[in-house]
Structure formats: C-alpha cells, structure tokens
Amino acid sequence: MKFALTVGLHPRRPQEMGEHTRLAEANGFAMVMTGDNPSVFGEHFASLALIAINTTTARVGSFISNTLTRHPAISALGLATIDALAPGRAFLGLSSGDTAATNLGLKPATVAQMEAYITAIKDLHAKGEATWEGAKIQAAYKRPGLPVFMAAGGPRTLRLAGRVADGVFVETGLLPEVIEDARRQIAAGAAEAGRSPDDIEVWFHARAAIAESREAALALASASIAGIGKRLARNGGRGKLIPEHLWPAIQQLGERYDNMNHVGDSRPAANAPLLDQLGLSDYLADRFALVGTPEDYRTRLTQLRALGVQNIAVAATMPDRAAWIEAMGREVIPAMAEA
C-alpha cells in the first residue's frame, strides 16, 4: 500500500512547507502534493517547485488544481517546468473547482469543460499545439506523456477520468459499496474510450487525524471532513450512494458550509460543529476519513486493502502536521508495507 500526502503552502509560512515535504519523503510517502486555491494558498506552481527541490524520490503534483483559474497553456507549461525540476516525478491534478472557483465568484467547471481542458493540455505536450475554445493555441515545447490526474467526486467525473485521465483521486469515499461503484464508473469510462481500466492509476482520498482515541481524532478532523462531505450536496444526490434518511442533512451541510474556511486558518473550526448539529459525524467519518489511533489506522487500512485499495492520498488535518507525518512513518506506513 502506498501513501500520498498533501501539504499546503501558506503565504506567510513557506519554510514550514519545505520542512513538511522533506519529512514526508523521509517517512515513506510516495507522493507529496499541494493544492491550488487562490483565495487561501500560495501560488500553485511556486508551491510545486518548492516540493520538487525538497524531494529526491517522491512524486510531485497537484492535489488539486482546477480548469477555471488558468489557461490550459499555462497549466501545461507549469507541469513541464516541474517535470524539468523533478524529471519523471511530476503530475498535474485537476478538478471542477470547488472553493477555488466559488470563492472567486466562478461556477464549477462542467464535465465537458474539464474534458476539453485535459485534452488541450495533452495535445500541447504531445504536439505543441491544441484547440481551446475554438482557437488554435501553440507552445514551443513538447513533453509527451506527462501525467494528468483528476479528482473525481461523483459518477460523471469518475467516468470522465476513465476516459481521459492518467490517474484519478477518488473522492467519493471509502465505504465498500462506494469503492466498488467508483471502480465500476472508472471502468465504464475507460471502455467508452477503448482503454483498459488498468491504464488509470487509482488513489482513494481520505481526510486524516491521529489521536489517543477515535473521538479525539474526529474532533481534529471534523472541519475538514465537513469540507469534503458538503460536496455530496452538489448537483443532487443521484448515484452517490447516500442513505436516503441522511440526504436532507447533507443538503443542509451544503447550504450552511462556509467556503472561506474550507482550508484556511483564519477561523479553522467554523465548519466543525455542523457535523454534530446535523447528525453526520459518524457517517461522514466512516465514508471519508482515517481517524483514530495508529492501531485504528492499521485495522482500517487492512480492511481497505482487502477491498483492493492499494493507494491512499491523505490530507492531514492535525494542527501539528509534523507529528502526524512522523507517526505515520513510525507506526503505520512500515506496517502496511510489511503486512
């Protein structure tokens, strides 16, 4: 089982990101990633460059950028630049936008927009030219084969990932029926494009916290879990395997969630009370998170591996992220490698 870690670059604390990056690689993380949210984080490709120069073996990439705030030629060039800094280790991850879009007054990208954007990037890398919004665009470089990943949070984006992406971060959850459905959707998309599902690298995403008990860890992770849980309310509940009796509460979570505190630290607990207030704590923690003691982690990860999950991308929600990284390297990652 392999692990990937997302580390955020706060504009006021760039040194911290470098420290966490080095620590993650030293403790066995196979990927180190950062997000692209102009309302919260530092500039994305500067962040990726910082990861690249602070690693030697770990893969470097986006968790996650989007298709709205940059022209595809800019993203294609950014990825090519990171590949030059970290040859063979760079990838670009894309999504429909979420708070990176809504905090700028933009609507999330449609599936069609995402497909066109990914196709344009791949064409620029393969041929040095592409079509974007009806116009020919060109680039004076070629980087064939640089991987483009997608974060997929619903049936339509999972299918799109199967059609066009090199890898996918599955954000629909970690419950057995959800894992099975995600694989089915990815395979269906791959079949539409004449591809094999084995051509797509699959990572399952979890929000994570370690503490002396599940309850204490859940308290640390609740705001972050609310952030991914509220996405279930987007575009209706069809095909998302949400228990019918919880759908009204999920809708309320989507309506009441404060987007400016999605990943920021000005009021980091602003969304945390929503889970208890709406009766969603246990369900969303089971669906989207790794929370508890290191022993709890090992037990849950063993169960996930039995379901065929081999790759886990984690967003650590601990105030002391260095302590979480070290705990993973000491008590979790080696055990999952040896088992």
98 domain residue, yes or no: yes
- Residue range 90-119: average pLDDT? 92
pLDDT tens-place string over residues 5-39: 998 777 678 889 999 999 999 999 999 999 998 88
User: Rounded to whole angstroms, how far apart are CA atoms 157 and 317?
Assistant: 25
Q: Given this model, what pLDDT does residue 266 score?
A: 41
pLDDT tens-place string over residues 233-283: 998 999 999 999 999 999 999 999 988 765 444 444 679 999 999 999 999
pLDDT tens-place string over residues 32-68: 999 998 888 889 999 999 999 999 999 999 999 999 9
Contacts of 83 (CB under 8 A, 6+ apart): 89, 90, 143, 146
235 domain residue, yes or no: no
234 domain residue, yes or no: no
278 domain residue, yes or no: no
Give the range of the structural domain holding residue 297, as residue numbers without chain letter: 2-220+289-338
- Residue range 114-123: average pLDDT? 98
Range list of H helices, the chain: 14-26, 44-53, 72-85, 98-102, 111-127, 155-164, 176-192, 214-229, 247-256, 273-277, 281-288, 294-306, 321-327, 333-338
User: Rounded to whole angstroms, how far apart are CA atoms 227 and 280?
Assistant: 12
Radius of gyration of the chain (CA): 19
Token output for 259: 């987007």
Contacts of 248 (CB under 8 A, 6+ apart): none
284 domain residue, yes or no: no
**How many alpha carbons lie under 13 Å from residue 244 in its C-beta half-sphere?**
0
45 domain residue, yes or no: yes
152 pLDDT exceeds 50?
Answer: yes
Q: Given this model, what pLDDT does residue 318 score?
A: 86
269 domain residue, yes or no: no
Number of domains in the chain: 1
Q: Given this model, what pLDDT does residue 269 score?
A: 64
> Which 8-state DSSP code applies to residue 328?
I
The verdict on pTM exceeding 0.85 is: yes
Q: Given this model, what pLDDT does residue 265 score?
A: 46
Q: Which of 100, 118, 19 is nearest to 64 (CA)?
A: 100
Q: Mean pLDDT over all residues of the chain?
A: 94
Strands 201-210 and 311-316: parallel
User: Rounded to whole angstroms, how far apart are CA atoms 181 and 269?
Assistant: 32
Q: Which of 129, 101, 127, 128 is nearest to 114 (CA)?
A: 101
> Which 8-state DSSP code applies to residue 205?
E
250 domain residue, yes or no: no
User: Rounded to whole angstroms, how far apart are CA atoms 308 and 296?
Assistant: 19
Token output for 131: 């079509």
Q: Given this model, what pLDDT does residue 329 score?
A: 98
Contacts of 134 (CB under 8 A, 6+ apart): none
Which CATH number covers residue 68? 3.20.20.30
pLDDT tens-place string over residues 178-216: 999 999 999 999 999 999 999 999 999 999 999 999 999
